[in-house]
Amino acid sequence: MASFFRRYILGIFRYRYRLTVKENQLLEHYHLIIQKIVCEQRGWDEKARAYFVKNCVKKYLTANETLSLDKVIQTELNQSLRVGTTLYYKMYKKSSLSTEKKIALLLNQMGAEIDNHGMLQLTGTHTFDVKMAPHGKFLHYFSKLVQRAYGREGLKDKRLHQFRIYIDEHNIRYIRSYFKLPSMNDEQALQLYVTNPKKSGGLGGRKLIAERGRFHNKSKRNAPRTSENRKRLCPNFHGEFIIDDEGEFVSQWNVLHRDFNHRVVSDWQYYQTVYRDKLDYFEEQIINGESFNYASWNGKIHRQLDVYPTRRLDYPIRRKIAKKWRSPGLKEYKWRQKDRAKTKYYRRGF
């Protein structure tokens, strides 16, 4: 391993950048530090580690003289721990791991584990980058990997299936954090996300896809719905948002709680107590909320990856609620006039 880092740091870069004596001495001193830090990154293969090293040295050599190499290394290390940053995305793409192992790499780095109540918890060293947009390159690339690995045989991994709910949480938080002003509802923030330029984290005018939200309009048996939730998708079909009549997101993340260790509370009895007087509201947010899609279109792969697995791989709270709620039939469900109307922020996608 030491020879690998020495080859890149003291060989290629010394020749390419014609390093001074002082720079050579610094790199000689720091190559063991870089080696130690990169090795702490769980699961990266040689190609990904090589990119990290090259990136660190390039940043150092092009930075101003007041920026030390150890500061550059620490900054880049922090970036590599944020899933969705440019550095993480490029390391992930550069990796020569197989498709299945790349998927497992991300889950392991984020510490994906099923708890004793059957719900996925993320307890790893890596987290989502707060600036990763719902339409971002990394989520699109990761979805393509899932399609390639499991698009034919279907999704059977409970961790990978439930991982989608954390992408949902990130996407909703992104819209609310960067585009929602105090006087806005969620839908108005979503419109701002669409119209804002790409350099500001928006879609630059690319419209969302409007699809029928029949499966997001479930109601309890013998209790017809009096309102209608609407579904909006990112242009690449992955990110999904469900909007109620008031223009607010319907989402499990409106009602799920976290404990002092920042783990999601997954005990059904806890929620029955906390939401004793608002149990219908709690259940509707869980059962009718958004669901990130690994598929890129509404077809067979979508059913294999995003629809069928919910029956057996959803966390138990959601499966319990699903037994009591039903989707409206094709004859019952009709889009309202306002959802058929033309708009500047979405296009009809069916």
- For residue 1, the model assigns a pLDDT of 43
Is 100 contained in some domain? no
Whether 176 and 318 map to the same domain: the answer is yes
Residue where a domain terminates, one of 91, 123, 146: 91
Is 8 contained in some domain? yes
Whether 315 and 207 map to the same domain: the answer is yes
127 touches 110 (CB < 8 A): yes
Total structural domains in the chain?
A: 2
Is 96 contained in some domain? no
Whether 142 and 215 map to the same domain: the answer is yes
The SS3 call for residue 227 is coil
The residue with greater pLDDT, 21 or 156, is: 156
The residue with greater pLDDT, 330 or 166, is: 166
Assigned token pair, 94? 């550069």
The residue with greater pLDDT, 119 or 60, is: 119
Residue 5 pLDDT greater than 90, yes or no: no
Residue 164 pLDDT greater than 50, yes or no: yes
Whole-number Å distance between alpha carbons of 66 and 69: 10
Is 296 contained in some domain? yes
Q: Mean per-residue pLDDT for 191-208?
A: 96
Residue where a domain terminates, one of 31, 58, 91: 91
Is 166 contained in some domain? yes
Residue where a domain terminates, one of 60, 91, 122: 91
- Please report, to the nearest 10 degrees, the dihedral formed by the alpha carbons of residues 331, 310, 265, 228 taken in order: -20
- For residue 113, the model assigns a pLDDT of 97
Query: pLDDT tens, 284-335?
Result: 999 999 999 999 999 999 999 999 999 999 999 999 999 999 999 888 887 7
Whether 212 and 321 map to the same domain: the answer is yes
Is 99 contained in some domain? no
Residue 7 pLDDT greater than 60, yes or no: no
Whether 75 and 167 map to the same domain: the answer is no
Domain that holds residue 160: 111-348
Whether 48 and 190 map to the same domain: the answer is no
- pTM value is 0.90
User: Helices 99-109 and 137-150 meet at what angle, rounded to 10?
Assistant: 130
Whether 18 and 143 map to the same domain: the answer is no
Confidence of residue 343 (pLDDT cuts 50, 70, 90): confident
